A and B are shown apart, each in its own frame.
Chain A
């Protein structure tokens, strides 16, 4: 199971992971178009700031995901093959139970659509966009546990 891990010791709090996360989930997937001509979606990664420490915080794709257990509409599910915790927006009723249930605060409210969004590990790309674009390699992608 793949997941993104953060390295707070080299995170400089630049928030580029958030910019690129928004781009990756925008219509055009182009940074200029997304920010100038579209309403970019909210980033699905959060940057914690406890200065001087900062670090980016994505979904952990937990083995026993509290968000999935809390979901009342069947929108959140754990893919049995990949182990990824995925969100089907068409089923989301915006109750925000998962937002409260996640111990890491990794589920983000999309106030525009009154639903939630979460990290999908950029399925279809070689690397999650936040990892690929982090200028300081403060985010890494582990393809398998412990790899």
Chain B
């Protein structure tokens, strides 16, 4: 009884106005932050400011949608009613242009000033476009936003031959989508290996074979010197390898955290906006989450991390005591219709390999009798068990003639 009245008194007291929580960024971190803020404080005003003129959507679906018709409504994270039910004031197509930290206001590009008691910066990142000559020619794209997908679809719809720069998961997803759309496609990777973060040398070689079998040419260890063309891109100039003809070029060369606003506002910024485990920045009323945030020196750039960080940032902004629980990055991807699992080290003193080429590859890495890493290409069902075994640094007694099958059986025993 008392507590109810006390709450009313707090609300009625004009000297204690309610919280105003402003979330900047309409990606998964922003949505999770707004949701968590509302859940933690039913009375706060919650604003969600998104630069794209669309309700937040599942961005990873974009690369799969090249060459297909996709309505954005079908990939919305939540329908419009979801925001209304939670009394989240959504401002679409509005970019934040500045933070007035002294007066606790966010400035928007339409001149609006949104006062806040707590601010969550969740603007994510932007696709990295290397500043090579010709990078601003028509026909050169990155894929990060819905508008990028539309632009690629329009351009590539009338083209036959394209190049993808970047042999990571996104680059290979884009290459496969283009190939499936019957476009000629070449992947250019600067590193020595496709999926360099996931694969060992032999695994990457197998993936190259898989790509070739699907009609995708992959060149590794190549440097893009520039893009050719006068009015529109006509080719990619590759060091020591001449010019590759291309009617369009898509860069999938990584993501740069969006930190401009935070930097101007004087917040501590490293690669991303530096946050503690409550997702608090160097300003106690400002929080950051997702691809824009740097936690313990790392910017993860992963969906599940963004969701979890967003939840914590939103709860913290509403006065909660949430703490970020690090999310283990998933160690499995599917590219070129092929499952690829990788965890821990890809090399070590003792390695067991089962190599059937594109039909399946298993690599188990041991150090001091413990499993310290694994790579699977093809059948990745054993992945979760192998990851658990690596995390637990499981000891495996190896004979000189122990086979991959024996170790798998031991570690992943499970009736199928």
A interface residues, Cβ below 8 angstroms from B: 13, 15, 18, 46-50, 54, 69-70, 72-74, 91, 93-97, 99-102, 105, 108-109, 111, 114
**Is there an interface contact between B64 and A46, defined as CB atoms closer than 8 Å?**
no
Residue of B nearest to A43 (CB): B416
On whether A114 and B334 interact (CB within 8 A), knowing A72-B303, A93-B64, A96-B339, the answer reads yes
Contact of B308 with A by CB under 8 A: yes
Task: Answer yes or no: B188 CB below 8 A from chain A CBs.
Answer: no
B90-119 interface (Cβ within 8 A of A): none
Contacts of A73 in B (CB 8 A): 58, 60-61, 75
Residues of A within 8 A of B339 (CB): 96, 109, 111, 114
Main secondary structure of the interface of B (DSSP, over half): mixed
The docked-state distance in angstroms from the alpha carbon of A114 to that of B413 is 23
Residue in A72, A91, A96 whose beta carbon sits within 8 Å of that of B380 in the complex: A96
* In the complex, B372 has a CB within 8 A of chain A: no
Q: Which residues of A contact B383 (CB under 8 A)?
A: 96, 99-100
22 sampled A-B residue pairs with Cβ under 8 A: A18-B415, A46-B414, A47-B414, A49-B415, A50-B413, A69-B308, A70-B303, A70-B327, A72-B61, A73-B75, A74-B75, A91-B61, A91-B74, A93-B60, A95-B60, A100-B331, A100-B332, A105-B385, A108-B381, A109-B381, A111-B339, A111-B381
Least Cβ–Cβ distance between A50 and chain B, in angstroms: 7
Decide: B384 and A70 in contact? CB cutoff 8 A: no
Of B58, B75, B307, B415, the most chain A CB neighbours within 10 A belong to B415
B334 in complex: contacting residue of A13, A54, A94, A105, CB < 8 Å: A94
Given contacts A72-B60, A72-B303, contact A100 B415 (CB under 8 A): no
CB of A133 to closest CB in B, whole Å = 16
Please state if B380 and A102 are interface contacts (CB–CB under 8 Å): no
Give the contacting residue for A101; candidates B77, B330, B413; CB below 8 A: B330
* Cα separation A49 to B410 with both chains bound (whole Å): 11
Q: Is B337 an interface residue (CB 8 A)?
A: yes
CB B80 to nearest CB in A, in angstroms, measures 15
- Residues in chain A near residue B330, CB distance under 8 A: 70, 95-97, 100-101
Provide the main secondary structure of the chain A interface: mixed
Residue of B nearest to A95 (CB): B334
Map CB proximity to A onto B295-317 as digits: 1 under 8 Å, 0 otherwise: 00000000110011000000000
| Distance of A109 Cα from B382 Cα, bound (Å) | 10
* Mask of B367-388 contacts with A, CB within 8 angstroms, 1/0: 0000000000001110111010
Whether B352 sits at the interface, judged by CB under 8 Å, is no
Which residues of B sit under 8 angstroms from A74, Cβ to Cβ? 58, 61, 75, 77
Looking at A13, A73, A95, A102, which has the most chain B CB atoms within 10 Å of its CB? Answer: A95
> Is there an interface contact between A99 and B334, defined as CB atoms closer than 8 Å?
no
Q: Which residues of chain A have C-beta atoms less than 8 A from B413's C-beta?
A: 49-50
Flag if B415 contacts A54 (CB, 8 Å): yes
Cβ-based interface call for B333 (8 A): yes
Q: Which residues of B contact A49 (CB under 8 A)?
A: 413-415
Given the complex, which residues of B lie within 8 Å of A46, measured CB to CB?
414-415
Contacts of B332 in A (CB 8 A): 95-97, 99-100
The 3 closest A-B pairs by CB, nearest first: A47-B415, A72-B60, A100-B330
Nearest opposing residue in chain B for A57, CB measure: B414
Q: How far is the CB of B356 from chain A (nearest CB, A)?
A: 15
A15 and B304: CB pair below 8 A? no
**Contact status A96-B60, CB under 8 Å:** no
B61: A residues at CB distance < 8 A: 72-74, 91, 93
Q: Do B380 and A97 have beta carbons less than 8 Å apart?
A: no
The smallest C-beta distance from A99 to any residue of chain B, in angstroms, reads 6
Using A97-B303, A99-B383 as known contacts, say yes or no to A72 and B333 having CB atoms under 8 A apart.
no
Residue with the greatest number of chain B CB neighbours at <10 A, chosen from A54, A91, A97, A102: A97
A101 contacts which chain B residues (CB < 8 A)? 304, 330
Q: How far is the CB of A4 from chain B (nearest CB, A)?
A: 17
Q: Which residues of chain A come closer than 8 Å to B384, judged between CB atoms?
A: 99-100, 102, 105
- State how many angstroms separate the Cβ of A88 from the closest Cβ of chain B: 10
CB neighbours of A91 from chain B (8 A): 61, 74-75
User: A100 to B414, alpha carbons, bound, how many Å?
Assistant: 16
Chain B contacts for A18, CB-based, 8 A: 415
Which residues of the partner chain A approach B385 to less than 8 Å between Cβ atoms? 105
Chain A residues with Cβ below 8 Å from B307 are: 69-70
User: B379, A111: Cβ atoms under 8 Å?
Assistant: yes
CA gap between A94 and B335 in the complex, in Å: 9
Asked whether B58 lies within 8 Å of A70 as measured between CB atoms, the reply is: no
Give the residue name and chain of the A residue nearest to B78 (CB): A74
A18 to B381, CA, bound (A): 16
Cα A70 to Cα B306 in complex, Å, equals 10
